[in-house]
Structure 1
Amino acid sequence: MKMQLELKNAHLRTGDQLKIKGEIMHDAERFQIDLGSGVDDVALHFNPRFFDDADGSVLVCNSKIAGTWGDEIRDMHNPLHRGHEVKIVLKLAGDMFEVELPDGQEVQFPNRAGMDVISYIKITGDFKLTSFKIC
C-alpha cells in the first residue's frame, strides 16, 4: 500500500528543517519527497529509487517549474535500503536544499526556483511515515 501525505498550507522558510522518520517498505521501488508551492512548482523533488532501469539503486533530485521538469541530478551512492527505518532531514538553505541521510551523507540541490518559502509538501510512495516535524 503506497502512502501519501500532502500539505498545501505549510510554511517552511529559509533555515527551517523538515525532519522525516519512517520505514522503507521491504519491496520498495521508490518514494519521493516534494517541496514547493504546488503540484506544478516543485523546488525540490527528492526521489530515492531502489530498482531504476538505468542505474539500479539511485538518488534522483529534480525540480518542476510551471509544470516542466528540469534536468535530473543522480547520485549513485544511495545509502537508503529496503526494509530499514530511516531519518531524513531536508533543509532550505537559501539558494540550496540540503538533504541529510542516515549514513551522514548530504545531498545538495540548487534552489532553481528561488523559493524563499515552501508552502507545499508531498511525501508519497513505498514508505511508512512514522514522524514528521518542521523546526
Structure 2
Amino acid sequence: MSMELELKNVDLRAGDQLKLKGTILHDAQRFQIDLGFDADDLALHFNPRFHDDADGAVLVCNSKTAGCWGDEKRELHNPLQRGSDVKIVLKLTGDMFEVELPDGQEVQFPNRDGMDVISYIRVRGDFKLTSFKIC
C-alpha cells in the first residue's frame, strides 16, 4: 500500500536537515522525496526505483520548474533494498542537496534554481514512514 505525506508552509534553509526513517515495502517499485516550493516547483526530486526499465535498481534525482522536469541525474549504485528498514538524511547546503544513504553512500544534487527556502515537502510511494524529523 503506497503512502503520501505532504507538508506545506515549511521553512527549511541552508544548514537544515530532514531525517526520514521507514521501511521500503517488500514489493516496492519506487518511492520519492520531494523538496521545493510546491508540487510544480521542486528543487529536489529524490526517486529510488527498484525496477527501472533502463537501469534496474537506480537512484534518480531531478528538479522541476513551473511543471517542467529538468535533466535526470542517475546513480546506478542503489544500496536501498526492498523490505529493509532505512534511514535517509537530506541535507541542504545552499547550492547543493546531499542525500545520505544507509550504506554511507552520499548522493549530491545541485540546487539548480537557487531555491533558498524550502516550503514544501512530499514523501510518497512504496515506503512506510515511521519517523520524520527536521533539525
Q: TM-score range with shorter-chain normalisation? A: over 0.9
Pairs within 5 Å for 1:49-60: 49-60=49-60
Q: Distance in 2 between matches of 1:10 and 1:83?
A: 30
SS in 1 for 2:82: coil
SS in 2 for 1:11: strand
Q: Distance in 2 between matches of 1:90 and 1:129?
A: 15
Residue 19 of structure 1 corresponds to 19
Once the 2 structures are TM-superposed, how far is the Cα of residue 10 of structure 1 from its aligned partner?
A: 1.0
Q: Distance in 1 between matches of 2:39 and 2:6?
A: 10
Residue 106 of structure 1 corresponds to 106
How many residue pairs get matched? 135
Pairs within 5 Å for 1:32-47: 32-47=32-47
Once the 2 structures are TM-superposed, how far is the Cα of residue 37 of structure 1 from its aligned partner?
A: 0.3
Once the 2 structures are TM-superposed, how far is the Cα of residue 113 of structure 1 from its aligned partner?
A: 1.4
Residue 91 of structure 1 corresponds to 91
Structure 1 alignment gaps of length 5 or more: none
Once the 2 structures are TM-superposed, how far is the Cα of residue 12 of structure 1 from its aligned partner?
A: 0.8
Q: TM-score, normalised by structure 1?
A: 0.99
SS in 2 for 1:8: strand
Q: Distance in 2 between matches of 1:113 and 1:19?
A: 23
Q: Distance in 2 between matches of 1:127 and 1:11?
A: 24
Please identify runs of 4+ aligned residues in structure 1 that moved more than 4 A: none
Once the 2 structures are TM-superposed, how far is the Cα of residue 121 of structure 1 from its aligned partner?
A: 0.1
Structure 2 alignment gaps of length 5 or more: none
Residue 134 of structure 1 corresponds to 134
Once the 2 structures are TM-superposed, how far is the Cα of residue 9 of structure 1 from its aligned partner?
A: 1.2
Q: TM-score, normalised by structure 2?
A: 0.99
Percentage of pairs with the same residue: 79
Q: Distance in 2 between matches of 1:23 and 1:10?
A: 24
